Amino acid sequence: MPEHPRRSGARGSDGSGRRRHSSPLRVSVRDACEADLDQIAAIWNHEALWTDSTTDTEPRDEATQREWLARHPEPYPAIVAVAGKHVVGYGSLSPYRPKPAFAQTVEDSVYIEGGHRGAGLGGLILAELVRRAIAADHHSIMARITSRNTASLRLHERHGFRTVGVERQTAFKLGRWHDVTIMQRRLDARARTSNAH
Ligand SMILES: CC(C)(COP(=O)(O)OP(=O)(O)OC[C@H]1O[C@@H](n2cnc3c(N)ncnc32)[C@H](O)[C@@H]1OP(=O)(O)O)[C@@H](O)C(=O)NCCC(=O)NCCS
């Protein structure tokens, strides 16, 4: 997999969108492996415990992380963006529903380590997940995004996802109700060629 120069920590951690000067990172994207699991858990556990970027609330221990990886062979890959051996972000595709009829509809996850956000890494991972989904002949990718998560909404919009619904106050986390925006990118032949979603 080729390496991509990316600027580290380019956006303020307050989500303000202000760009900071920083040094470039050489980042590559590859399949996740067991050696990555501690770093993936560190990224995930912070979001699960302390932020509303995910509606999940449970941190993952070592055993849970191993189970997570085992649930992600092709055609539901787990991938990491790495700078050397350091995991700066990860992403995955999962079945959208645990029913055979939904086997070709997948849901994506993308998580970038704090301090490396706003530098294009989310885009790098999501583009690779879309490429893998097309290669695996999936039909749609879905994303379920808490509606205040402007970075994720923007990221998905930039990669061809369109909002297909909003669940009003379906998730309660960190003392408040959250709306959940559902976005979809269709991958069928017509949508691929005409860019109609
Ligand atoms: C959401 C997330 C994956 C985006 O990844 P990223 O590397 O920070 O985003 P990118 O640099 O690739 O930017 C993607 C787009 O979002 C925009 N964006 C990024 N951060 C933003 C922010 N805080 N506010 C508004 N827009 C933002 C970028 O400008 C870019 O849009 P553009 O191409 O029109 O300029 C990352 O911020 C993250 O891991 N957040 C915490 C976990 C999370 O929310 N995961 C998604 C759960 S659904």
Question: What's the structural domain count of the chain?
Answer: 1
The domain in which residue 64 lies consists of 6-194
User: What pLDDT, on the 0 to 100 scale, is given for residue 196?
Assistant: 46
User: What pLDDT, on the 0 to 100 scale, is given for residue 8?
Assistant: 56
Asked whether residue 1 is assigned to any structural domain, the reply reads no
CA of 112 to the centre of ligand 1 (A): 9
Asked whether residue 155 is assigned to any structural domain, the reply reads yes
Ligand 1 probe mutation, 112, 130, 149, most atoms within 8 A of CB: 112
Q: Is 144 helix (H, G, I), strand (E, B) or coil?
A: strand
Name residue 146's beta-bridge partners.
180
Angle between the N-to-C axes of helices 121-135 and 150-158, in degrees from 0 to 180, rounded to the nearest 10: 50
Pocket flag, ligand 1, residue 47 (CB < 6 Å)? yes
The helix or strand, by DSSP H or E, that contains position 48, with its residue range, turns out to be helix 37-50
**pLDDT tens, residue order, the chain (197 aa):** 556 666 555 443 333 333 443 557 899 999 999 999 999 999 999 999 999 999 999 999 999 999 999 999 999 999 999 999 999 999 999 999 999 999 899 999 999 999 999 999 999 999 999 999 999 999 999 999 999 999 999 999 999 999 999 999 999 999 999 999 999 999 976 666 554 44
CA of 101 to the centre of ligand 1 (A): 31
Asked whether residue 190 is assigned to any structural domain, the reply reads yes
Asked whether residue 152 is assigned to any structural domain, the reply reads yes
User: What pLDDT, on the 0 to 100 scale, is given for residue 2?
Assistant: 52
Ligand 1 probe mutation, 7, 11, 173, most atoms within 8 A of CB: 11
CATH of residue 23: 3.40.630.30
